[in-house]
Structure 1
Amino acid sequence: MSRQTIRWVACLQIGLLLLTGCHPIQPFYARNNPSLANYMDQAMSIEYADVQVESLPEATQSLEPYAHDRMPTEFHDWTLEDCTSIALQNTKMIRAVSGINLQSGSVAGALLSAQPGQLPSVYDPALVANVGNTQPLVVDSQGTRVAPRGSVRANQVGGVEHALSEFDTQFSTVLGYNTTDRPRNVGQGNVFNPQFFRATDSNFQAALSKRMATGTVATARMTTVYSRNNIPASGNNPASPNFGRSVPSDYTAALELQLNQPLMRGRGTLVNRIPVVLARINEDIALHQFEATIRNLLRDVEHAYWDLYMGYRAVEAARTARDSALDLWRVAKERAAISDTTPAAVAQAAGRVAQFQAALNIAINGSPVPGNDPLGLVGRERVLREKMGLAPTDGPFIRPSEEPTLARIAFDWEEVKAEGLVRNTELRTQKWSIKQRELEVMSAKNQILPQLDLVGAYRWLGVGDELIGADRNGIRFPDPGSRAFEELTNGDFQEVSARIEFTPAPLGSRREKINVLASQMQLKKSHEELRTKELMLVHQMETAWVTVASTHTSMMNFFDQLRENQSEIDIYHEQIANDSGDMSQILDFLLRAEEIKARAQLQYFQSIVEYNKAIVNIHYLKGSLFDLNNVTLGEGAWVEKAYWDAEQRSRERAGGHYFDYGYTRPAVVSNGPVEQGGVAEGNVSDAGITMPPSNPSPSQPAKEPEEVPAAPVPESNGDSQEVAPEASPETP
């Protein structure tokens, strides 16, 4: 091609480039589909995970929920202890939220929306004990352990076993092979350095390295080096003209013991055992959090149990009022037939029947209308089943068989306050966190010191024409046939090395000082958090303490009101029986009195339930709820191999000699185990009481204290154990 043609082709290419510009071009396909259907159908589709997990029968075999047209006919008469026991037996995943919250209710939505792995469970303490860093132990090229650098924080360590693994012995090995084949710029006849040098070299290293609690790193290292080249060998013959090497190849075996001892940073058991103590505290905090969630579950079960009791009483009060209104409607209808009662009185009685019937339906099924009970009896039973881990509906209906206490429990405020400040779970957890912050400050201060290490090594060597043999042949190096391991075990060649390594902190030590300052500020903040939590606990305990007294007073006031309402109703019934007075007015007063009585009866039972729940809250806050319910926390059974290992370790410790060093580093971090299974005052399962006199009415003198049954219901006409409502009255 001529130069002119090449010039024109180049100009044409430049012109095309200028006209089209630079922009990306999609590849062209013969069968192109611009709809991106494959991408939309595959990459953007929502799919099911291929996971096979057997569901709980409580979920898959749950029956149709109860409603107004389908009410239960079978019942489980369970005590509070029965419900608590079932709830604890069904608790692998704890159906309660963490933290202190005196309000309880359904937590199904909160648990269902929680992120995977965030639900509290009985596995949490074991998970914390077995969590660890995925980074392996680090060794250098010589097989020596490299100690971790930087200050230690509690969130950087896992369980105790993970922290103790830092002191495990690390084995490492290196095998290398190398050949050399190159010309060299030397003259001819050079015995020590031939012009064309060829060599084969190999090395093998095996090392065991262990870090001690004092910071010392001990390393045992075995090294074997093989060398062979084309330098002429004399065979250790003085008459040979080849004096560059004694034998064509040789093995060098070395056994070395090395100690790296830090003298400033990282020295001593105090700073090196801090990660282990922090890990142990992590496990303690996990146990406290587990205790708190179990405590919350017990509180929620008790609250749900008494709420269900209240649901039955609400149904009873609504049915009693409905039945009384129905009887009055019948009386008014009969009176209207003989013209003693106006039609307005009959209509008023029928309206009250409809009103009480609606209240009965709400008491059974609940109502989302503001001002009404949103759960009702059925909903309250469902909440209790949720806490117990049962199916929402499995046939029999739960019915509390235990009555709430009416006894006036007078807690001593000073004892409640002192016990709460010591035994409250949240305060104990905070104190463990403070202990962690104290250890973190110690670790951070140690990092200001320079890195000053003393390194010493003692080495045995042996060189031979061969590596090893079955028998010792007595040939010494450098004679042909000598053996490296035989020379090594003779111990004739020994070496000692020592050095000091000094690496100060960066000038100014700003990073180290910032870490110390941050740790000290965290410690100060933890102290103030503890003080604030103690103050808030006292506030909540005072609120609960006052609630116990106020609800008991309200309970007795409502009882007096209920008694007086019943007396008023009896008077109106007597007037109707004697046919005295204006019958329409008497019926009006009687209907109003029945409505007031139903409201007072409901408030009376509400005050009883709130009183028992307030007692539970007192124990909940001061840390004695487990004692109240006779519940203790303990470790489950281990596999048989664990017991075998424990027995072996126990025998090893029993066979050793105990050395009393007089102190331990770090110092003691625990004041002993938390006592469980004590006796708590204010047992809500007390049967009968001696009730003090209430405020007497002006028409009645004050009565002496008398023994009354738990949860009295004056003049109750309905069966408190029946939940199915009767049919509504006929329309007049």
Structure 2
Amino acid sequence: DISIADFELNITNLVRDVEDLYWELYLTYRTYDAELSARDAALQFWRTTKRRMEVGARRGALVDEVQARENYFTTRIRVENALANLYITEGQLRRLLSLPVNDGRIIRPAEEPLAAEYLANWRMALAESLVHRAELRRQKWQIKSLELQLTAAKSLIKPRLDFVAGYQVNGFGDNLLSYDPEDGITDQGLNSAYTTLTRGDQTGWDLGFEMSLPIGLRSALATKRNLELRLTKARAVLGAQELEISHELSNSFQLVDWWYQLAETNFHRRNAALKETEVIVQEYEAGRIPVDLLLRSRAELAAADVGYYTSLVKYNQSLTDMRVRKGTLLEENSVYLAEGSWTPEAYDEAMRRAWARSYAI
């Protein structure tokens, strides 16, 4: 049971890592899309300012052209960095999933992250944590093991009374092996030990009770006290784990609320940046503002887009963390652990051992 709990912990960590990397990959795609849109807009604007400079249709067209060109290469660098980060994250996910490095395909998340507010009940979540967390079950099995060991140790400080019985067949003879069984002295013919042994007429038996009690019981008492100390420590560890789990769950609740609030704020920031860019483009086309304000507004729009999806991904990762703290991550991802069937010999052996325990004195 302790090994099963350890295995469940390892599976939980694996599922959590896969889910976190899945959302990280989603974020890299969104970042790449935002930077790509910013680069395309910068390229189009650079071409426009270049044509205006060539025909002299606008005062200060040369300054606009050099600024637009520098802005284009800046956005191009960000696109290349975003694409490299995308490939790195996709490779990390492949490693976790034990997929080949290059199979001619690329992984792209198919699901959208949750954008709605998640309202959880604290008491229900805490109860689920205390019931489903594998760490607590593992520690409880440790306590059960120590309790059984302590029960066995207590039996060592009690007097031991055994019922003993024996039966023996003796072989007497002057020689170990002889063809002539007669020794010339006794009527039984004790010349060959093997001969008298196979005849089976030299037998004996004994029957009685044996009682023993070690003086001082130093070893038994030391074992008992050591197990009592270990059991007390294990119970204290269980209490500390339950307290730590409650703090972890509380921190997870705070993270969920925090990232949702940030996602909501970044959503409004994104809409405001989009509206700002539209207004600044109109003002620039009318010749009322310089080009640097336009370039800055487009950079802020890309940053707002990335910031929104970053907070949204962090919000979903905090939900995953909450499921881990509650111990329900495997169940909510339809991952179940079950023990397979035994071999027929194992069933027979288990039945014999059960009978032996049932009728033991």
Report the TM-score, using the length of structure 2 for normalisation. Answer: 0.84
Query: Is the Cα–Cα contact under 8 Å of residues 256 and 319 in structure 2 kept in the other structure?
Result: yes
Partner of 1:582: 288
Query: What is the CA–CA distance in structure 2 between the aligned matches of 1:598 and 1:486, rounded to whole Å?
Result: 101
2:92 aligns with one of 383, 404, 415: 383
Partner of 1:301: 18
* CA 550–479 in structure 1, closer or farther in 2 if over 3 Å, else same: closer
Partner of 1:597: 301
* CA 634–502 in structure 1, closer or farther in 2 if over 3 Å, else same: closer
* CA 480–461 in structure 1, closer or farther in 2 if over 3 Å, else same: closer
Higher RCO (CA < 8 A, seq sep 6+): 2
* CA 530–329 in structure 1, closer or farther in 2 if over 3 Å, else same: same
1:502 aligns with one of 200, 212, 215: 212
* CA 417–648 in structure 1, closer or farther in 2 if over 3 Å, else same: closer
Opposite residue 500 of structure 1, the aligned amino acid is E
Question: Which has a greater percent of strand?
Answer: 1
Query: What is the CA–CA distance in structure 2 between the aligned matches of 1:647 and 1:542, rounded to whole Å?
Result: 46
Is the aligned partner of 1:405 residue 2:114? yes
* CA 338–463 in structure 1, closer or farther in 2 if over 3 Å, else same: same
Alpha-carbon distance, 1:355 to partner:
1.6
2:332 aligns with one of 621, 628, 631: 628
* CA 333–305 in structure 1, closer or farther in 2 if over 3 Å, else same: same
For structure 1, which runs of at least 5 residues remain unmatched after alignment? 1-283, 366-375, 468-476, 666-732
2:323 aligns with one of 619, 628, 642: 619
Partner of 1:525: 233
Query: What is the CA–CA distance in structure 2 between the aligned matches of 1:321 and 1:301, rounded to whole Å?
Result: 30
Alpha-carbon distance, 1:403 to partner:
1.7
Count the aligned residue pairs: 347
Alpha-carbon distance, 1:400 to partner:
1.4
Is the aligned partner of 1:478 residue 2:188? yes
Question: Which has a greater percent of helix?
Answer: 2
Q: Deviations over 1:489-548 (max 9, x none)?
A: 8xx96543436353514x4x4444333222222111111111111111111111112212
Mapping 1:256-655, distance limit 5 Å: 284-336=1-53, 337-365=56-84, 376-450=85-159, 453-459=162-168, 478=188, 484=196, 488=200, 495-498=205-208, 500=210, 502-505=212-215, 507=216, 509-576=217-284, 579-583=285-289, 585=290, 587-636=291-340, 642-643=343-344, 645=345
Query: What is the CA–CA distance in structure 2 between the aligned matches of 1:430 and 1:648, rounded to whole Å?
Result: 31
* CA 499–553 in structure 1, closer or farther in 2 if over 3 Å, else same: closer
For structure 2, which runs of at least 5 residues remain unmatched after alignment? 178-186
Query: What is the CA–CA distance in structure 1 between the aligned matches of 2:111 and 2:38, rounded to whole Å?
Result: 24
Which is higher, the Rg of structure 1 or of structure 2?
1
Alpha-carbon distance, 1:303 to partner:
0.8
SS at match of 2:286: coil
Superposed CA RMSD: 3.4
Q: Deviations over 1:349-404 (max 9, x none)?
A: 22221221111111111xxxxxxxxxx11110011011011233333221112222
Report the TM-score, using the length of structure 1 for normalisation. Answer: 0.43
Q: Deviations over 1:277-317 (max 9, x none)?
A: xxxxxxx1111101110111111111111111111111011
SS at match of 1:455: strand
Query: What is the CA–CA distance in structure 1 between the aligned matches of 2:171 and 2:62, rounded to whole Å?
Result: 125
Alpha-carbon distance, 1:449 to partner:
3.5
Partner of 2:181: none
Query: What is the CA–CA distance in structure 1 between the aligned matches of 2:141 and 2:349, rounded to whole Å?
Result: 29
Partner of 2:184: none
Q: Deviations over 1:254-285 (max 9, x none)?
A: xxxxxxxxxxxxxxxxxxxxxxxxxxxxxx11
SS at match of 1:568: helix
SS at match of 1:324: helix
SS at match of 1:558: helix
Q: Percent identity?
A: 31
Query: Is the Cα–Cα contact under 8 Å of residues 165 and 205 in structure 2 kept in the other structure?
Result: no
Partner of 1:109: none
Query: What is the CA–CA distance in structure 1 between the aligned matches of 2:318 and 2:151, rounded to whole Å?
Result: 44
Query: What is the CA–CA distance in structure 2 between the aligned matches of 1:484 and 1:627, rounded to whole Å?
Result: 73
Query: Is the Cα–Cα contact under 8 Å of residues 30 and 309 in structure 2 kept in the other structure?
Result: yes
Opposite residue 274 of structure 2, the aligned amino acid is Q
